[in-house]
Amino acid sequence: MPLPKRKTSKCRRDKRRTHDALRAPNLVPCPNCAEKILPHRMCPHCGYYKGRAIKEVEERKT
């Protein structure tokens, strides 16, 4: 089984891991109800997408 000839330095190890960080989702306001939603998706709060009602949403009891 092959073994490394030299210890991997912290710099080289960390360079390899630069793209592993989690990023916050890109949220945009819904043009209909101003709730934060993911772009190019129907709003789960009001049911609108591109100015049209796609799905009827029940009123939440809060």
- Note the pLDDT of residue 58: 80
pLDDT tens digits, residue range 5-62?
Answer: 999 999 999 999 999 999 999 999 999 999 999 999 999 999 999 888 888 888 766 6
User: Cα separation of 55 and 10, whole Å?
Assistant: 52
User: Cα separation of 23 and 38, whole Å?
Assistant: 14
Which positions ≥6 away from 54 have C-beta within 8 Å? 42, 47, 48
Q: Could you tell me how far CA 24 lies from the centroid of its own chain?
A: 6
Half-sphere exposure of 60 (CA within 13 A, CB side): 4
